[in-house]
Amino acid sequence: MTTRREVPGIRPYDGPAGGWGALRATAQAIRQQMESIEAPITLMRTNQPDGFDCPGCAWPDKEHKSTFQFCENGAKAVTWEATTKRVGPEFFQNNTVSSLLQRSDFELEDLGRLTHPLVYDRDTDKFRAVEWGDAFARIGQVLQGLSSPDQAEFYTSGRASNEAAYLFQLFAREYGTNNFPDCSNMCHEPTSVGLPQSIGIGKGTVSLEDFDETELIISIGHNPGTNHPRMMGTLHEASRRNVPIIVFNPLRERALERFADPQNLLEMATYGSTRIASTYFQVDAGGDAAALKGIMKALLAMEAEEGNVLDHEFIAAHTENFDAFAADLEVTAWDDIETASGLSRSDLEQVAIAYAKSNATIVTYGMGVTQHNKGTANVRLIADLLLLRGNFGKPGAGICPLRGHSNVQGNRTVGITEKPSSTFLKQIEDVLGFKPPEAHGHDAVQAMQAMIDGSAKALLCLGGNFAVALPDSEQSFAAMAKLDLSVHLGTKLNRSHLLVAKESYVLPCLGRTELDIQASGRQSITVEDSMSMVHASSGKLKPASEFLLSEPAIIAGIARATLPHSKVAWQELVADYDKVRDLIEQTVPGFEAFNARIRTPGGFRLPLPPTERVWHTPSGKAMFSVYGGVKEDADVYGAENVLRLITIRSHDQYNTTIYALDDRYRGVFGRRDVVFMNEADLAARGLEHGDLVDIETISSGRKLCLKNITAIVYGIAQGSVAAYYPEANVLVPLDFIDKESGTPSYKSVPVHVSRAAQA
Ligand SMILES: Nc1nc2c(c(=O)[nH]1)N[C@H]1C(S)=C(S)[C@@H](COP(=O)(O)OP(=O)(O)OC[C@H]3O[C@@H](n4cnc5c(=O)[nH]c(N)nc54)[C@H](O)[C@@H]3O)O[C@H]1N2
Ligand SMILES: Nc1nc2c(c(=O)[nH]1)N[C@H]1C(S)=C(S)[C@@H](COP(=O)(O)OP(=O)(O)OC[C@H]3O[C@@H](n4cnc5c(=O)[nH]c(N)nc54)[C@H](O)[C@@H]3O)O[C@H]1N2
Ligand SMILES: [Mo]
């Protein structure tokens, strides 16, 4: 092998993921954010049923308790929120918004927790402290003054509790709009849209226990070593039981190859580790639909030859549309499958053989599946694969979408959706006594489009970093300034807060780790994890500042100021969150005896009909989908020299929150300005490891480019390149979406990479 030149900050990582490195990184995260070592340790020992739910990810807890288990990235999420750093009015008096905009996303959040409600002062270009009452009154006044409620957008980020999200949608619907852009629109919307068509519900069907009984795991397009670290314990156990784990991922992700479980004393003491993937297929970015079709085509061929491969009884009793589905596979050519997936026919046949052997299979998937122009089709094809062998409603089998934010699934369940069902609206009307609007509202991309064309006038954000999370940063950032009003409920300062509108408010709220005391005493909130378990979470820490309000209290404050004749008893609801839960129980199915059931440790599971082989589809059966061809992208990617850009998360980041500049498992340290490339793709462009490149999106619309990025050689499928989100959002076109779900194609942007013009 040729020796490569040294590139600053790039050092291949050869060890397993997890292990001592994870413990070291945890200690470091704590040291950087907390003054005393005691606080976080107490935090991590919080292991009682009345503890708080980790704000990190939506992977369930083994005991289904809201406890805090050891997890490097969970520790980062907790210490980032429970930090002792503060950013108050004095700081804002000394720094203009224009100067703050020069700081990096990392620097902004690293300033610490927001302590006071803030209003933007255009004359001085500074934020200054404002009284809560004054802020509510003015926000109410602006909202009342809009010519239509549909000129306001109500964004939700998935960390919000069920209670906060429920009140937020109640307020916006009573105000008169269904404009509910939310982070789900950028994330698992293809799951929410695709799975109901296939199996009658837009949620995963497995429980943690299923992983104990499964015989095969197929993992497609997710990176659990970073994004769902507690899942690594589950995969580790499965691997030790010799369960094959077949991975599809264009990038070699260390944790999917080898993992040392920090909870496993022997492994830690002996510096041992466990292989995770039994087979690793580096599928092309966006090539999963073709790969899945290949596996299923091979399976049908095996059935034709040997028989006994498909679960005929299940297919006959529980599904429809099989014939059309099989006919489509029949006419899909292997050549096309190989070209579009980047995998060989024999590889895919091997997967089919392994799948046919397994009596209980789980398919897990994440953003590598959903964030594509065919995200919804991808999800349905995964369901098809499982249907072929009856892998629903039996132990050890099912579909497992890895949700993003810790309560993103719950937000949807309690009504954060731009397309509410008429049953839900009727329930609201019957119970609350006002008539909610029926017309569908905006999703995230549509909300931004309305801001760009000037038809949206106000944006209220329940958490998150709206403009930074969305595609085409240049355009999205500029659109924020066109608004009359922006209001952000947040814990830490971020760029969206600083992209000020004519009037802007930043309203600091309690985090999930903090005590929430209201008129009736200490409150808990509830969340729903990736496996539909609903449980309570109660903060324990002293709030970051005495001026913070809870999210429900802030929403109620704005609602009362906006709707003086509201039918909702805002004050009563905020005084006692049990009353919010009573309303959820009365308006959302599945929450019978809500308050009683969250008081048992572990909470309860929401109904998942497919686990009982009940299908809430129009025909009452599960539905095979027909996804014609695999060549439909040829016009987008077929031209010469086109590469597919994947935008990914580093190990030291939580979405737009950058904890630090390392990405340990991918061997990148102290920087994020890199693009991961296959060696052959570099060579084909006359480039070498470490060269500066420009990346330009191939788009008929606006010119999108990212300049002076360092290209580094990485184990990535030829034809695919990867760069970090959110920086690479300047390259993602806003209108390049999955048409069925509206989700941006963050992971298959057609680009050209060439030597930097400046170099
Ligand atoms: N620590 C931490 N935890 C998190 C988050 C975080 O940022 N940091 N974010 C949270 C959120 S909101 C979410 S949605 C989840 C995200 O969790 P993931 O779903 O793991 O998301 P990503 O890191 O964006 O990328 C997923 C993987 O998909 C692969 N991939 C890209 N394109 C393709 C493709 O075309 N096909 C296949 N098969 N694979 C592909 C990438 O190489 C990468 O390994 O994690 C949640 N948890
Ligand atoms: N290019 C590219 N873009 C992407 C993605 C990608 O893979 N590639 N992924 C997409 C995905 S999956 C998602 S989910 C979105 C994420 O989009 P968002 O959910 O909008 O973004 P986050 O970065 O999670 O939001 C971080 C902010 O949340 C606030 N916050 C933290 N905790 C709390 C709290 O308890 N309450 C309140 N009110 N605020 C709080 C803090 O102020 C913090 O700055 O980004 C999407 N954008
Ligand atoms: Mo997400």
pLDDT tens digit sequence for 205-233: 999 999 999 999 999 999 999 999 889 98
What span, in angstroms and rounded, lies between the C-alpha atoms of 626 and 322? 9
Distance from chain centroid for Cα 459: 21
Nearest Cα residue to atom 18 of ligand 2: 464
C-beta of 491 in contact with ligand 1 (< 6 A): no
pLDDT at 120 over 60: yes
Long-range contacts, 316-322 (Cβ 8 Å, 24+): 318/387, 318/390, 318/392, 318/613, 318/615, 318/621, 318/622, 319/387, 319/621, 319/622, 319/623, 319/624, 320/619, 320/621, 320/622, 320/623, 320/624, 321/623, 321/624, 321/625, 321/626, 322/624
What span, in angstroms and rounded, lies between the C-alpha atoms of 418 and 443? 6
Q: In this structure, are residues 437 and 176 in contact, taking their beta carbons and an 8 Å threshold?
A: yes
pLDDT at 582 over 70: yes
C-beta of 649 in contact with ligand 1 (< 6 A): yes
Asked if residue 726 has a cis previous peptide bond (ω within 30° of 0), the answer is yes
Amino acid sitting at position 388: L
Q: In this structure, are residues 85 and 112 in contact, taking their beta carbons and an 8 Å threshold?
A: yes
Mean pLDDT for the stretch of residues 229-248 = 94
Mutate to test the pocket of ligand 1, among 222, 379, 658 (most ligand atoms within 8 A of CB): 222
Q: Looking at ligand 1, which atom is closest to the CA of residue 226?
A: 1
If you measure from the C-alpha of residue 530 to the centroid of ligand 1, how many angstroms do you get, rounded to a whole number? 15
For 98, phi then psi, to 5°, come to -60, -40
C-beta of 648 in contact with ligand 1 (< 6 A): yes
pLDDT at 559 over 90: yes
If you measure from the C-alpha of residue 537 to the centroid of ligand 3, how many angstroms do you get, rounded to a whole number? 21
Angle at 455 between CA 453 and CA 457, to 5 degrees: 115
Tell me, what's the pLDDT at 20? 81
Of the given ranges (34-48, 604-618, 667-681), which has the lowest mean pLDDT? 34-48
Tell me, what's the pLDDT at 27? 76
pLDDT at 53 over 80: no
The CA-atom distances, in angstroms, between 349 and each of 249, 363, 461, 553 are: 17, 17, 48, 57
The CA-atom distances, in angstroms, between 372 and each of 58, 180, 492, 737 are: 22, 22, 30, 7
pLDDT at 242 over 60: yes
Each residue of 171-186: pLDDT tens digit? Answer: 999 999 999 999 999 9
Helices (H), 521-637: 551-562, 570-575, 577-587, 594-597, 634-637
What are the structure tokens assigned to 99, written together? 């100067």
Distance from chain centroid for Cα 81: 19
**Eight-state DSSP code of residue 59:** P
pLDDT at 45 over 60: no
What span, in angstroms and rounded, lies between the C-alpha atoms of 281 and 251? 9
Confidence grade of residue 125 (pLDDT, cut at 50, 70, 90) = very high
Contacts of 116 (CB under 8 A, 6+ apart): 88, 89, 129, 130, 508, 545, 547
pLDDT at 562 over 80: yes
pLDDT at 234 over 70: yes
Each residue of 352-369: pLDDT tens digit? Answer: 999 999 999 999 999 999
Tell me, what's the pLDDT at 50? 63
Residue with tokens 């005929």: 312
Structural domains in the chain, sorted by start: 17-81 (no CATH), 86-186+407-607 (3.40.50.740), 189-406 (3.40.228.10), 643-755 (2.40.40.20)
Spell 350-388 as b/e; 16+ CB within 10 A means b: bbbebbbebbbbbbbbbbbbbbbbbbbbbbbbbbbbbbb
pLDDT at 26 over 90: no
Tell me, what's the pLDDT at 63? 62
Give the ligand with the smallest distance to the CA of 644. Answer: 1
Mean pLDDT for the stretch of residues 307-330 = 97
C-beta of 182 in contact with ligand 2 (< 6 A): no
Closest among 152, 181, 192 to 559, alpha carbons compared: 152
Q: In this structure, are residues 256 and 401 in contact, taking their beta carbons and an 8 Å threshold?
A: no
Contacts of 373 (CB under 8 A, 6+ apart): 286, 633, 636, 736, 737, 738, 739, 745, 748
The residue ranking higher by pLDDT, 80 or 75, is 80
What span, in angstroms and rounded, lies between the C-alpha atoms of 322 and 384? 9
What span, in angstroms and rounded, lies between the C-alpha atoms of 337 and 293? 7
Nearest Cα residue to atom 25 of ligand 2: 464
Give the ligand with the smallest distance to the CA of 721. Answer: 1
What span, in angstroms and rounded, lies between the C-alpha atoms of 557 and 170? 13
C-beta of 227 in contact with ligand 1 (< 6 A): yes
pTM of the predicted structure, to 2 decimals? 0.95
To 10 degrees, the CA torsion angle through 559, 564, 565, 566?
10
Mutate to test the pocket of ligand 1, among 721, 747, 751 (most ligand atoms within 8 A of CB): 747
C-beta of 536 in contact with ligand 1 (< 6 A): no
Q: In this structure, are residues 187 and 83 in contact, taking their beta carbons and an 8 Å threshold?
A: no
Tell me, what's the pLDDT at 139? 98
Mutate to test the pocket of ligand 2, among 109, 113, 183, 470 (most ligand atoms within 8 A of CB): 183
pLDDT at 550 over 60: yes
What span, in angstroms and rounded, lies between the C-alpha atoms of 303 and 305? 5
pLDDT at 62 over 90: no
What span, in angstroms and rounded, lies between the C-alpha atoms of 597 and 547? 33
Tell me, what's the pLDDT at 68? 45
Mutate to test the pocket of ligand 1, among 76, 249, 406 (most ligand atoms within 8 A of CB): 249
C-beta of 180 in contact with ligand 1 (< 6 A): no
